[in-house]
Amino acid sequence: MIEKYIVDISKFNDKINWDVAAPQLGLAICRVQYGSNKVDELYNQHVKKLEARGIPHAAYAYGCYVSVNDAIVEAKDFLNRVNKNAKFLVLDVEDDTVASMESKGNLGDLAKASQAFINTCEAAGWKVGLYVSHHMYNQYNLQNVKADFIWLPRYGTNDGQPQVKPAYPCDIWQYTDNGYINGIGRVDINLLRGDKTLDWYIGDDVNTIAPSKNVGIGIAISKYSVGYGINLYDAPDGNFTGERFSDKTPHPILAGAWYGGNENMLCFGPSRWAKQEHFDVQWFRAYSKYPPGYGINTYSAPGAPDGSFKRQVDGKTSYEIYSRENGWLDIGQSTFVEEKHFDIK
């Protein structure tokens, strides 16, 4: 029986013979980005090759943020780039993450920024893990960052075989960055630890929160420090209710009043409206569940009343969502589609 490996790969794994490697792989965790500005140019190619061979894949982002707010921006960029079929997401915190935070004098906020990144991804419906360099895990308060699982590297002499186990509890152990797999060559290899099985990571019933179960049309997080209050109003042009948002909790956006840009008003529940200008916003998008080119009917009104058919969309792109009610999505210009045909992320 061929051993199934858990690997993590990036643009540096650029000479993979997929037909040789594929039978040996149980899971591949693929790099999406190095900070916001450097996209891994092989990410989409790796995913395409993995999916063609039925190999589960996940995605990770190397953090290069310089502040808490910048971490949220990086997380949103990550969410916009990740393939919707990824089984889970991972934030990678290493020496360059430390250097980035230190460059702006914010190293004391490293744990807080990392938590903000993870929270932003979790609020979008994903299972999210934290990878931290072993020598850093008990520094900067990183051991108190909350994630769905912890992934730690520890190599020993790094001869490609498992040797010295991590000194801290973790769920995944990266035991080498010098492993060898036929068809790939030198590659990072990992083992599961603890009580989480491979099915916990890749099983259809546990991979992520079902996208269609997400509430609303997006997520809003205060731009300000904890304690700064954002006024809530009883209507888009209504009166102050006396209530404020004073934390950095991700709040689901249930609806909007579209006046343009930051003048837009966001609805967070009955009689709970606030100006968009006070929030960092991650908008959900609608992704067709079908192969590109498969036609999905659109209508001029929700519920598809007689005479309301407009045209078909082919699902080759994702769609902005302006409202989401009773199983129907407004994707703009008075065009409505049934949500059952889409994944929402």
Average per-residue pLDDT in the chain?
91
pLDDT band for position 133 (50/70/90)? very high
pTM above 0.85?
Answer: no
Q: Same domain for 237 and 200?
A: no
Classify residue 293 as left (phi > 0), alpha (psi -120 to 50) or beta.
left
Q: Same domain for 248 and 311?
A: no
Residues 275 and 278: their CA atoms lie apart, in Å, by 6
pLDDT at 215 over 80: no
pLDDT top residue among 204 and 311: 311
Strand pairing of 328-330 and 336-338? antiparallel
pLDDT at 8 over 90: yes
Task: Write out the two tokens for 318.
Answer: 């994702």
pLDDT band for position 146 (50/70/90)? very high
pLDDT band for position 5 (50/70/90)? very high
pLDDT top residue among 2 and 30: 30
pLDDT band for position 251 (50/70/90)? confident
Which region among 57-66, 84-93, 197-206 has the lowest average model confidence (pLDDT)? Answer: 197-206
Q: Same domain for 22 and 55?
A: yes
49 touches 28 (CB < 8 A) = no
Of these ranges, 100-114, 243-257, 277-291, the one predicted with the greatest mean pLDDT is 100-114
Q: Same domain for 124 and 221?
A: no
pLDDT at 3 over 60: no
Q: Same domain for 104 and 63?
A: yes
Q: Same domain for 157 and 278?
A: no
- Residue 115: name the closest of 68, 171, 152 by CA: 68
CATH code for the domain in which residue 178 is found: 3.20.20.80
Q: Which residue has the tokens 């192969």?
A: 291
pLDDT, tens only, 255-274: 899 998 778 999 998 889 99
Of these ranges, 187-191, 311-315, 341-345, the one predicted with the greatest mean pLDDT is 187-191
Q: What is the pLDDT of residue 225?
A: 84
The DSSP code sequence of 98-165 is HHHHHHTT-GGGHHHHHHHHHHHHHHTT--EEEEE-GGGTTSTTGGG---SEEEEE--TT-SSS--SP
- What percent of the chain is predicted at pLDDT more than 70? 96
Q: Same domain for 36 and 72?
A: yes
pLDDT at 208 over 60: no
Strand pairing of 128-132 and 149-153? parallel
Residues 87 and 199: their CA atoms lie apart, in Å, by 10
pLDDT band for position 214 (50/70/90)? low
Which of 283, 308, 329 terminates a domain? The answer is: 283
Q: What is the pLDDT of residue 227?
A: 83
pLDDT at 209 over 80: no
The mean per-residue pLDDT over the stretch 132-161 comes to: 95
Q: How many domains does the chain have?
A: 3
Q: Same domain for 109 and 227?
A: no
Q: Same domain for 83 and 73?
A: yes
Residues 42 and 38: their CA atoms lie apart, in Å, by 12
Q: Same domain for 52 and 187?
A: yes
- Helical ranges in the chain per DSSP H: 18-21, 43-52, 68-81, 95-103, 110-123, 198-202
Q: Same domain for 148 and 256?
A: no
Domain that holds residue 264: 213-283
Which of 283, 299, 318 terminates a domain? The answer is: 283
Classify residue 64 as exposed, middle or buried by CB count within 10 Å of its CB (0-12, 13-18, 19+). Answer: buried
pLDDT at 23 over 80: yes
pLDDT at 194 over 80: no
